[in-house]
Structure 1
Amino acid sequence: MIAHIGDRIVVEGTHLGDARRVGIVTALAHEDGRPPYRVRWLDDGRTTLIFPGAEARVEPAAQP
């Protein structure tokens, strides 16, 4: 998985009742875009470090 600053990370719930989480990549640990990523979550505004698994996908940032 490769991401860039500004891309969206979408994490699907893995259990019944789990909500989908969407966040914005705010920082990269590696210049080539490999995880982990610093993500600001849209639902609560918190920023966390994420090592995305199979339930996650990257959506590229909209081009201006």
Structure 2
Amino acid sequence: MQAHTGDRIIIRGKTVETPDRHGTILEVRGDDGNPPYLVKFEDGHETIVYPGSDFLIEHTHD
């Protein structure tokens, strides 16, 4: 999985009652776009993310 700074991410909720989480990648800390990623979520929380199977990337560039 590869990403760039500015790409949007979606982490799918694990249950029907759990909403998806949306955020923006602030920093790519791995080589060549690989994880981990520093992500800022819509609620303002920032954290390091290691993507799992519930993780989608929306690329903001070509």
Same fold (TM over 0.5): yes
Runs of 4+ in 1 over 3 A off after TM superposition: none
Distance 2:31 2:14 in 1: 29
Aligned length: 62
Which string of whole-angstrom CA distances, capped at 9 and with x for unpartnered residues, describes residues 15-53 of structure 1?
Answer: 2311100100000112301111000001x1111000110
Structure 2 counterpart of 1:57, one-letter code: L
Correspondence for 1:32? 32
Q: What displacement does 1:60 show?
A: 0.6
Distance 2:37 2:31 in 1: 11
In the alignment, structure 1 segments of 5+ residues that lack a partner are: none
Distance 2:30 2:36 in 1: 8
Superposed CA RMSD in Å reads 1.3
Q: What TM-score do the two structures reach when normalised by structure 1?
A: 0.88
Correspondence for 2:55? 56
